[in-house]
Amino acid sequence: MKKILVTGGCGFIGSNFIRHMLSHGKVEKIINLDLLTYAGNLENLADVEADPRYEFVRGDVCNFDLAAELMGRVDAAVNFAAESHVDRSIIDSSRFVRTNVAGVQTLLDAAREAGLERFVQISTDEVYGSLGPEGRFTERTPLAPNSPYSASKASADMLVRAYHHTHGLPAVITRCSNNYGPYQFPEKIVPLFITNLLADKPVPIYGDGANVRDWIFVGDHCCAIDAVLRDGRPGEIYNIGGGNERSNIEITRLLLAELGKDESMIEHIADRPGHDLRYAVDCSKIQSELGWRPAHGFTEGLRLTINWYRDNAHWWRRIKTGEYMKYYEQQYGKRRQ
């Protein structure tokens, strides 16, 4: 795939993916279509702005004419564009349905019209719902989303499946676990806790902190998407994960230790409604079919991430003002116990 449309490329994973493809992939052109919502930031790609292979277009994935025009100029599309934060979907899910469901339907129609060679839908392991203490999600695990966010992502996955089945659209779905790394908006647990601790502020743990996620360094996720884009089989789903299960309290203790803080910084707050207990992914399919494996260990990846936030304080300090602080107060203000 030489010419690619990336949607949502100004967000966390999309910006890391564009940088990865420009430096490792053999691409002639990357068009980045992004609406620049609160989570999209042009600064995330300031270092590649001048690359002649890179083009930024501000726009909405719900705009069919724009999507079809851009897809007419590429071979493949990778859709990262989404409302991505579970807590925000609990406050108000309308934008999640608009972008994550109607936006995907629009992109799929545009991909059909353009006759794309490949459409990669970036989904999430959260579509499978929650696990108890044992077991892992495989690609055959039934969908059982629990949050408005994961329900919108599962709906999109169903549409992608249907467009492949009905129209023969060469679409592939990836379902990855929780990412961490540079350029993650400081609302998700890892960047929120790192930046709070760097600013000497407490870290708010939901409930008892026993909930478990599988953690993957964002660069490893980007390599997996690159492999799926090249060699994934149309109509298939590929799980992606770091093989790294940690409870929230374990992550918090690691961060406290790395940043030289003690447990007095922990603030236990009211639990997230409908909080999924545990996610864990079986990645044997992508490993055996495409030979992909994560390259970063958790401690190494976390240190890289902490150092990035330490070195780029201007980036997150600017974000953590104005609208962000209003969100923070709405999200956390009333939950303190």
Q: Which residues bind ligand NAD (CB under 6 A)?
A: 7-8, 10-14, 34-37, 39-40, 60-62, 80-82, 84, 99, 103, 122, 124, 153, 176, 178-179, 185
Q: 149 an active-site residue? A: yes
Q: Residue 197's binding partner, choosing from ligand TYD, ligand NAD, none, with beta-carbon cut-off 5 to 8 A by kind?
A: none
Give 103 or 294: the residue with its C-beta nearer to ligand NAD: 103
Out of 192, 224, 280, 283, the only residue in the binding site for ligand TYD (CB under 6 A) is 192
Residue 314, SS3? helix
Q: Choose among 73, 91, 83, 66: nearest CA to 3.
A: 73
Handedness of CA 117, 142, 188, 329 (dihedral sign): positive
Q: Choose among 97, 101, 106, 51: nearest CA to 77.
A: 106
Out of 106, 123, 178, 244, the only residue in the binding site for ligand TYD (CB under 6 A) is 178
Give 154 or 261: the residue with its C-beta nearer to ligand NAD: 154
According to the binding rule CB under 6 A, does residue 176 interact with ligand TYD? no
Residue 278, SS3? strand
Which one from 128, 149, 238, 309 is the annotated catalytic residue? 149
**According to DSSP H, which parts of 169-247 are helical?**
189-198, 218-231
Least CB distance to ligand TYD at residue 130 (A): 10
Q: Residue 103's binding partner, choosing from ligand NAD, ligand TYD, none, with beta-carbon cut-off 5 to 8 A by kind?
A: ligand NAD
Residue 67 makes CB contacts below 8 A (sequence gap 6+) with 33, 61, 106, 107, 110
Rg (CA), the chain: 19
Q: Which stretch, 114-122, 188-196, 216-224, 315-323, contacts ligand TYD (CB under 6 A)?
A: 188-196
Distance CA 49, CA 58 (A): 14
Residue 26 phi/psi, 5° resolution? -95, 75
Give 184 or 252: the residue with its C-beta nearer to ligand NAD: 184
Q: 126 an active-site residue? A: yes
Least CB distance to ligand NAD at residue 269 (A): 21
Q: Which stretch, 7-15, 89-97, 203-211, 319-327, contacts ligand TYD (CB under 6 A)?
A: 203-211
Contact 181, 304 (CB under 8 A): yes
Q: Which stretch, 4-12, 58-66, 185-193, 283-291, contacts ligand TYD (CB under 6 A)?
A: 185-193
Q: 250 an active-site residue? A: no
Residue 238, SS3? strand
Out of 32, 44, 99, 211, the only residue in the binding site for ligand TYD (CB under 6 A) is 211
71 burial (CB, 10 Å; 0-12 / 13-18 / 19+) is buried
Active site members: 125-126, 149
Q: Which residues bind ligand TYD (CB under 6 A)?
A: 86, 178, 188-189, 192, 204-206, 211, 213, 248, 272
